[in-house]
Structure 1
Amino acid sequence: MLANYLIGLREGLEASLIVVILIAYLVKTDRRHLIPRLWVGVGAAILVSLGFGALLTFGPRNLTFEAQEALGGTLSIVAVGFVTWMVFWMASHARGLSGELRGKIDTAADAGRFSLVLVAFLAVGREGLETALFLWAATQAAASSDGSTLQPLLGALLGLLTAVAMGFAFYKGVLKINLSKFFAWTGAILIVVAGGVLAYGVHDLQEAGILPGLNNLAFDVSAQIPPDSFVGTLLKGTLNFSPATTWLEAIAWVAYVVPTMTLFLRKIRGNTAPRPAAASPVSASH
């Protein structure tokens, strides 16, 4: 539940910040009459994201067990790819996001009536589709032993609601936080969560018979950490930890988390390092 709360919080806050930037710029440039078009695009993006989430949830139910596992494993791996790209993209573009969006608004406002709708739809829709896919994959991985997804979905919903409240507080000037540190910490957490989703996806592909080694366990601590115990539930909900992990799952987790986390931390340190002062121009001697 906690992992999905953090996913919903981070992804929802990114989308909320985009909406806040767009609205604030329209207000600042005295173009309030364009705000309804913005909300049309945002609303359409939310509907498409919800529809995509529903398709992921209910679409595979008529498939065979092997087909469901194959589809679930493949989508989990795709979700890890998307969230990894998103984490690094935000680390690289967070500083210039506001200026980039303002430039798109200016271009769209002059282009036509529906251009601003499209800008808002694409900006929020990209975040929404990525969020729907990763939340679905994380929810499947964090589901309890009885198959219930209620707690993971509740965690995601609470995270999204918190993000909307924070976005509104940002717009009103009530809340001020260091967004660079926020995205750095949550990005690192998401990489660990994504590692668990990747391992879960590998396990699905093993159960589908696509990957080998389903019975070759790297470790089995089910006796020490029962899956339905408090500790087991906590580890499953936060880190997608499985007490019985195959060698292929363990290798996939390490091969993803270690290099990805290393590159991400280097990226964050590079962004926060002070830039050298520009050299003073030297006059040419005559």
Structure 2
Amino acid sequence: MVSAKAYLTVDPIQKDKAVKVIDRMHGYLSLLDGNTSYGIVDVITIILREGLEALLVVIALLGFLKKSDQEDKKSWIYGGVIIGSIVSIVLAVLVKLLFTSGTFGNNNFLISGWTGVFAAVMLIYVSYWLHSKSSVDSRNHGIQDKSCKSLANGSLFSLGFLAFLAVFREGTEVVLFYIGMASSIKLTDLFLGIALGFAILIIIAVLMLKIGLRIPMKPFFLVSSLLVFYLGLKFTGMGINGLQLSGVLPATSSDLLPTISALAVYPTWQGVIPQAVLVVIAILVILHNKLKRN
């Protein structure tokens, strides 16, 4: 949609390229034409696909509190998760009751766009902070590190808000998916799939926490920083894409740019350049810290 709009709003208009994009879109959407039915596997796939990204953020935050001997403050993270889940369900239900899908389309892009950008900013900051902790002497264990405790004590709301954003952004998508599927699947299969999906997510969360807590301090913070940076990079692309779809940001497409769905890289300069800048900054920070240690 962003590419097609970009080709039709440049001067001169690149009609042929826009038609090719629209033809591809038609090909994708034609698969949904007719009587579509869903099964338990589809329900589980949706919750795992959307939920794993939010789960990575929550696990990184919980692991940080545990490693820094601040586990008693994990209620802030859980609070963000619970509130994010509730708001997601309420918003999705209100959307279904009060708006047509066409009317909500633009608002949905705005919501996903701004929450994606805000979450990306916070994720990039947390990624940098976690990376800085990876250079802490392993004998210190980070427990006596003043800056470690300072972040936990002074930024609990920020940590909880980050958990809220991650869950809210993904949760709203999940609920809207399920509302759309409800008419094409047995309710017993839908609820069973949701239950199984949540059960799998819980098992993954427990395993990640247990494995993560056994990892030494330095590798734990290093791996966590890389995972959080990946999510920050992806949320940046998704947020910018959402704002482009809503018309807040312009879109300049190019055949030179790739499409990498796993990283939310789309063929517009407005999305690729900020992501490229983040990668360059990350590399420079890593090199700087390495030279500093040497």
TM-score by length of 2: 0.55
In the alignment, the residues of structure 1 paired with residue 115 and residue 205 of structure 2 have an alpha-carbon distance, to the nearest angstrom, of 22
In the alignment, the residues of structure 2 paired with residue 199 and residue 182 of structure 1 have an alpha-carbon distance, to the nearest angstrom, of 26
Instruction: For residue 82 of structure 1, report the CA deviation from its aligned partner.
Output: 0.2
Name the count of aligned residue pairs: 220
In the alignment, the residues of structure 1 paired with residue 250 and residue 207 of structure 2 have an alpha-carbon distance, to the nearest angstrom, of 41
User: What letter is aligned with 1:47?
Assistant: G
Are 2:237 and 2:263, in contact at CA under 8 Å, matched by a contact in 1?
A: no
1:191 to 229, 241, 250: 229
| More moved, 3-12 vs 41-50 | 3-12
**For structure 2, which runs of at least 5 residues remain unmatched after alignment?**
1-47, 182-193
User: What letter is aligned with 1:164?
Assistant: L
In the alignment, the residues of structure 1 paired with residue 58 and residue 288 of structure 2 have an alpha-carbon distance, to the nearest angstrom, of 20
**Residue equivalent to 2:159:** 127
User: What letter is aligned with 2:81?
Assistant: S
Are 2:65 and 2:74, in contact at CA under 8 Å, matched by a contact in 1?
A: no
- Aligned ranges for residues 98-177 of structure 1 at < 5 Å? 98-100=143-145, 126-134=158-166, 136-137=168-169, 157=202, 159-166=204-211, 170=213, 175=214, 177=215
Distance 1:249 1:9, change over 3 A: closer
Matched, 1:65 2:110: no
Are 1:199 and 1:253, in contact at CA under 8 Å, matched by a contact in 2?
A: yes
**Residue equivalent to 1:16:** 63
In the alignment, the residues of structure 2 paired with residue 251 and residue 152 of structure 1 have an alpha-carbon distance, to the nearest angstrom, of 36
Instruction: For residue 190 of structure 1, report the CA deviation from its aligned partner.
Output: 3.4
Q: Could you say what secondary structure the match of 2:247 adopts? A: coil
| More moved, 56-65 vs 73-82 | 56-65
User: What letter is aligned with 1:239?
Assistant: L
Matched, 1:258 2:288: no
TM-align CA RMSD = 4.7
In the alignment, the residues of structure 1 paired with residue 197 and residue 116 of structure 2 have an alpha-carbon distance, to the nearest angstrom, of 16
Name segments (4+ residues, structure 1) moved above 6 Å: 101-105, 119-124, 138-143, 145-148, 150-156
List per-residue Cα deviations over 1:201-240 (Å, max 9, x = no partner): 1111111111122xx4324999xx9xxxxxxxxx63x433
List per-residue Cα deviations over 1:152-172 (Å, max 9, x = no partner): 9888655532233236xx4xx
In the alignment, the residues of structure 2 paired with residue 90 and residue 192 of structure 1 have an alpha-carbon distance, to the nearest angstrom, of 13
User: What letter is aligned with 1:262?
Assistant: I
List per-residue Cα deviations over 1:113-159 (Å, max 9, x = no partner): xxxxxx9897766434323423554678999x9999x8998886555
Instruction: For residue 21 of structure 1, report the CA deviation from its aligned partner.
Output: 4.9
- Aligned ranges for residues 201-212 of structure 1 at < 5 Å? 201-212=239-250
**Residue equivalent to 2:131:** 91
User: What letter is aligned with 1:98?
Assistant: I
User: What letter is aligned with 1:218?
Assistant: S
- Aligned ranges for residues 8-87 of structure 1 at < 5 Å? 8-9=55-56, 11-19=58-66, 21-22=68-69, 38=72, 42-43=74-75, 45-56=77-88, 58-59=90-91, 62=95, 64-87=104-127
List per-residue Cα deviations over 1:62-109 (Å, max 9, x = no partner): 37322221122111011110011111122234537411579979xxxx
In the alignment, the residues of structure 2 paired with residue 76 and residue 82 of structure 1 have an alpha-carbon distance, to the nearest angstrom, of 10
| More moved, 4-13 vs 196-205 | 4-13
In the alignment, the residues of structure 2 paired with residue 206 and residue 192 of structure 1 have an alpha-carbon distance, to the nearest angstrom, of 21
**Residue equivalent to 1:246:** 268
**For structure 1, which runs of at least 5 residues remain unmatched after alignment?**
25-37, 106-118, 226-234, 275-286
In the alignment, the residues of structure 2 paired with residue 54 and residue 83 of structure 1 have an alpha-carbon distance, to the nearest angstrom, of 22
